[in-house]
Amino acid sequence: MLENLGPFSGSPWVFAIIGLSVLLDVFVPILPSGVLVIAAATTATGAPATAGAVTHSVPGGADLPEMLALVLCAATASVLGDMVAYRLAWRGGDRFDRAISRSRRLTAAQERLGAALTRGGGGLVVLARFAPAGRSVVSLGAGVAHRTVREFLPWSALAGLVWAAYSVCLGYVGGQWLGAGWVSTAVSVLALFAAGSAAAFLMRRPSRRAAFGGPSGD
């Protein structure tokens, strides 16, 4: 992947590929959008492709504009994808609602989302952005439940920004400390998957607790 991205490093094509992948993975969660973001950030460091090679780029150096551009690209595409899914689910609410009702897990997730947004606890949207397929469940669930744009959009924007910044930082730090090779990318991807596993675990907490840990009777 790094070899394929290498010739495009610094090219608008990188941002187009990443943007399209991130936008579409709300519908096709198996797309490796997070891996692409990490790989692009790792390659952009320009560090030697040797494990253990530590470089000394300083904040504000040549890497910073490209890292910021990657964060902005991934975050913007994430929000756009969320809103497309949200609007489609809003308009086809009955059909999506029937599909969700067939799964107890999706139904429970939708109920937690509704309670969280109603109470201003949209941190669930941010948490779900890291969980496998969590972004899809949240975006479609918000649309099916006819949550307002004012309730959903700010949290979607925050979720996209946090996820994008985390992914780019993983790639950047990995590239600086381990070199722009497959080892650093693999370590960074493992860290991203670890965050996703932790988010999925938190989202599966027993339904007898409120969305953010308080007793359900609060």
Token pair in block for residue 33:
């959008």
What is the CB neighbour count within 10 angstroms for residue 45? 24
Cα 209 to chain centroid distance, Å, stands at 25
Q: Give CA–CA dist 75/160, Å, rounded.
A: 4
What is the CB neighbour count within 10 angstroms for residue 22? 28
Q: Give CA–CA dist 175/12, Å, rounded.
A: 21
What is the CB neighbour count within 10 angstroms for residue 93? 15
Please list the pLDDT of the chain residue by residue as tens digits (218 residues). 444 444 445 567 788 999 999 999 988 878 788 888 988 888 877 554 444 444 444 444 447 888 899 999 999 999 999 999 999 888 876 666 666 677 676 676 666 666 666 555 677 888 888 988 888 888 888 887 788 898 899 999 999 999 999 999 988 888 777 665 666 677 878 888 888 888 877 766 644 333 333 343 33
Q: 82, 70, 99: which is closest to 29 by C-alpha?
A: 82
Return the residue matching tokens 């590239």.
Answer: 175
Please tell me the chain's helix, strand, coil percentages from 3-state DSSP, rounded to the nearest 5: 70, 0, 30
> If DSSP codes are grouped into helix, strand and coil, which group holds residue 116?
helix
